[in-house]
Amino acid sequence: MPKYDVCLSFAGEDRDYVEEVARHLTELGVSRFYDTDEQADLWGKNLVEHLDEIYRKDSRFCVMFVSEAYVRKMWTRHERRAAFDRAMVSDTEYVLPARFDDTEVPALRTGTGYIDLRNRTPRELAAMIAAKVGTPVEADPAGWEYQLFSDTAAMHLRKLKDKQLSHEMGFAPDVRTLTTDTEAHDYYLMRTGVFDKIVNGLADLLSAGKQQWAFGPAGRAGDRDRIKHLATQFTKSYESLLDWTADLRGTSTPARYAALYAATAQLADQPLKQIEEFLAQLAAATERNAGDLELTISYDLSAVEAELKKVQTT
């Protein structure tokens, strides 16, 4: 009898997503091989032989998380070969592909059914794996709509880690050079208009009308596709704020406008933090089968107004 219901084969670059899947599988009662849980057992062993045993013999199914990094890496290549060796002698499907992208996988037959992960949350995939191995999955809990919104937003937010880190350190690559005061002034006015549009758009996405459209009226279940779409657009607006700040920081201007551009770029700091805190609080609430979508965006214009006054009076 196999030791595990499922083994998880993935590249380190995709660990954040897979770790969430592993956690939800445990919550669902599915036994799985996930490498960090086995570090003590793996310590000192011949990993080539041991992992071959796991991916070729010790699991009922192998979920293969396909990505460019997965196909490129040496260890995942070894896991993949062991899994395909098992699949060749299995009477039923063994390799269950789950795709982060469209990278071609050597030896994976064209036409093999797969799950597209680009808009599927780790919790959703874990439930599908549980169903595949025959573990009963409970009905959606009360407040599942908030849970789905939170999971979808978190999934997209993980993809923005590099942009978040660049924002935290105040880094932005050079994107343009404005050589005259007129150019700097006109571009500044245009970009502040974009900021207003992004912030107003965030408020609109969580308006009562949009929430009812996705979550449904009181007493009725929400629509999964609409909730995921709403969460996706919400995180896209968050990304737009990151991009807006990076654009201002990456714009070189005449010296007269440099401080104004720098102060204005910082306008996004508060809204970005407020969004992150909102999503963290929502995620914590959904773990208690509760939830609420209220976000207040605020920011301090005093530093910008002071620098703008300097520009206008010099």
Q: What is the mean pLDDT of residues 152-169?
A: 94
Task: Kindly state the tokens that stand for 196.
Answer: 């207003």
In this predicted model, which residue has the larger pLDDT, 149 or 136? 149
CA dihedral 168, 170, 173, 174 (to 10 degrees): 150
Q: What is the pLDDT of residues 31-67, one digit of tens each?
A: 999 876 555 455 445 455 667 788 888 899 999 999 9
Select from 254, 124, 236 the least CA-distant residue to 185. 254
Of 127-136, 162-171, 257-266, 284-293, the one with minimum mean pLDDT is 284-293
b/e code 101-124 from CB counts within 10 Å (16+ = b): eeeebeebeeeeeebebeebbbbb
Average pLDDT estimate for 284-301: 82
What the block records as the tokens of 314 is: 């010099």
Q: Which of 245, 236, 269, 274 is nearest to 171 (CA)?
A: 245
CA-wise closest residue to 241 among 279, 276, 216, 212: 276
Q: For the segment 88-126, what is each residue's pLDDT rounded down to a tens digit? A: 888 788 999 999 999 999 888 877 889 999 999 999 999
